[in-house]
Amino acid sequence: MATALQPDQDAAALDAFRLSARAWLAANFPASLKGKDNVLSSLEGPSEHSADEVAWTTAMGDKGWGVPTWPEAYGGGGLSRAEARILAEEMGRIGAWNPIGGMGVMMFGPTLLEYGSEAQKQEHIRAIAKGKVRWCQGYSEPGAGSDLASLQTFAEDKGDHYLVNGQKTWTSGGQWADKCFALVRTDKSQKHAGISFLLIDMTSPGVEVKPIRMISGQSPFCETFFTDVKVPKENLVGREGQGWEIGTRLLQHERNSLSGGGGAASRLFAGTPLAQVAKQYRGANDDGKLSDTDLRMRIVKHEMDQRAFALTLRRAALEAKSNQGPSAATSIMKNVGARITQDRAELSIEIMGMAGLGWEGEGFTEAELTQTRTWLWGKAVSIYGGSTEIQNNVIAKRILGMLDHQ
């Protein structure tokens, strides 16, 4: 009998949590921030934040709900997946957003929880959970992009520290980051087994960052140079030579986060159905339907794809075991999410017509100019986090079992 009642008891507990979360959000989320984007964790760099933005970040950080499923022992919320889902639903209901994010949350934190020492977790995880530290990723190099294992940045063993020399590129947010998680070579005689995972303070002498200006006019990426940078031995995650394993795991976490169609392109007309936007720019017939029937059908198809994908992500999250984490299946999700995100961006620009071609000057609203730049940014969705072609290789080998022909 007790077993039979357990689902009801669980449901009652979740209902109680929903009411508790709703009350907490009502007391702590500033109404002035309703519907705003997460400006505090974007790649556009630090800016002046309002008192309400700072207060909201502090409240979420102290509660641990910026990273709701992380352990309470390290500053997380300690919530179950079901509770985290309810929290997200309640936040969405009132137009609230998570002010704590970035690479520390989406990639490095989950990886350190799995591979880091207790001292490393205590030092870094809580700061991430509170949104106090910005992290960047030191992976790609000028000669090591798709073939990342060819990286040459070298960490020479100097006894109590490493001396790091080399160059990284496409370092997202590097000019604003406090710290960097990097793949470095500690053994030149072995390709994969000679790579280690190192944590580098971006304020260390010898670290130089040069922003890269993109076609969108923004500079979210950088070149990063390391010249005789001293890194303490305690900043090695795992053991020497384990970097490829740890780095691959981190990429799985990244692709899992990006599979939802992340990036600026996903924020085109965020929260507004495309059909509604289309009526604004294209007009409606006497029945209140979008006049352009072909466009109407393509919007419907896109929204069906988007809804099906969202449900698939939710099902995958429910089926995932807490001790398994992301798998190679994240490559499928990443590719599909990238396609849906770019489809939405293309449809949005098509809907806007001439209003979607503005770059600067009069005749365009600020929102329209932003959409144009956001559309351009969206072209990178199928590249960063592992290009579509690389994900196809992962899918072929690790999911379909297709091996390279010798």
Q: What 8-state DSSP symbol labels residue 31?
A: G
**Cβ neighbours of residue 67 closer than 8 Å, sequence gap 6 or more:** 75, 76, 77, 100, 105, 109, 128, 129
Of 380, 378, 382, 349, which is closest to residue 274 (Cα–Cα)? Answer: 349
Burial 283-321 (b: 16+ CB within 10 A, else e): eeeeeeebebeebbebbeebbeebeebeeebeebeeeee
Q: Are 33 and 53 in contact (CB under 8 A)?
A: yes
**254 counts as catalytic:** yes
What's the CA gap between 69 and 271, in Å, rounded?
25
CA–centroid distance for 351 within its chain = 28
Of 45, 99, 47, 49, which is closest to residue 209 (Cα–Cα)? Answer: 45
Of 183, 202, 172, which is closest to residue 246 (Cα–Cα)? Answer: 183
Check 254, 303, 346, 360 and give the catalytic one. Answer: 254
Q: Are 166 and 184 in contact (CB under 8 A)?
A: yes
What's the CA gap between 122 and 392, in Å, rounded?
37
Q: Are 190 and 235 in contact (CB under 8 A)?
A: no
Structure tokens at 322: 């807490």
Of 73, 75, 46, which is closest to residue 60 (Cα–Cα)? Answer: 75
Structure tokens at 210: 């040069």
**Cβ neighbours of residue 184 closer than 8 Å, sequence gap 6 or more:** 138, 151, 153, 154, 155, 162, 164, 166, 195, 196, 198, 243
Of 366, 370, 374, 307, which is closest to residue 345 (Cα–Cα)? Answer: 374
Other residues' Cβ atoms within 10 Å of the Cβ of residue 364: 19
What's the CA gap between 336 and 121, in Å, rounded?
33
The residues facing 141 across adjacent strands are 144
Catalytic residue numbers read 254
